[in-house]
Amino acid sequence: MIFTSRALLALAATTSTVSATKLYVSSYTGNITTFDFTKTPNATYNLARLDTTTGCSPNASWLQIDVKHRNLFCLDEGIIVANGSLTSFKIDDGKSGALKLVKHAAVPAAPVNSALYYGPNGTQLLAVAHYTHALTTYTVDPVAASFVPFQTFNFTMEKPGPKPQQAAPHPHQVVIDPQKKYLIIPDLGADLLRIFYINPTTLQLSERPSIPVEKGSGPRHGVFHTTRRTVNSRGQTHYYLLTEISSKIMGYNVTYLPNNGGLQFTPSVSPVSAYTTNALNAAIAAGNAPAEITLAQTNTGGNQLIVSNRNATFFSNVKNPDPANSTTIISDSLATFELPKSSRTNSSAGTQEQQIKSLAITPAGGLFPRHFALNARGDKIAVGLQRSGRVVVYERCTDTGAIGKDPVAGFEGLGEVSSIVWDDRKPKA
Predicted local confidence at residue 1, as pLDDT: 60
> Distance (Å, rounded) from C-alpha 75 to C-alpha 86?
5
Predicted local confidence at residue 351, as pLDDT: 45
Predicted local confidence at residue 379, as pLDDT: 97
Which residues, 6+ apart, have CB-to-CB distance to 95 below 8 Å? 50
Predicted local confidence at residue 41, as pLDDT: 86
For 46, 74, 169, 244, 340, the CA distances from 159, given in Å and listed in that order, are 51, 33, 10, 20, 39
Which residues, 6+ apart, have CB-to-CB distance to 272 below 8 Å? 248, 249, 337, 356, 358
Chunked in runs of 10, what are the mean pLDDT values of the chain (429 residues)?
Answer: 44 48 97 95 92 97 97 98 97 90 98 96 96 98 98 97 97 97 98 98 97 98 86 78 97 97 95 74 81 96 96 90 89 94 44 76 97 97 98 97 95 97 83
For 16, 23, 43, 143, the CA distances from 4, given in Å and listed in that order, are 16, 16, 11, 37
Peptide bond into 169 cis (omega under 30): no
Predicted local confidence at residue 414, as pLDDT: 97
Q: What is the distance in angstroms between the CA of the first residue and the CA of the last residue of the chain?
A: 39
Which residues, 6+ apart, have CB-to-CB distance to 198 below 8 Å? 117, 125, 176, 180, 181, 182, 183, 204, 205
Q: What's the sign of the alpha-carbon dihedral 214, 218, 224, 225?
A: negative
> Distance (Å, rounded) from C-alpha 270 to C-alpha 214?
13
> Distance (Å, rounded) from C-alpha 125 to C-alpha 136?
10
Which residues, 6+ apart, have CB-to-CB distance to 379 below 8 Å? 395, 396, 397, 398
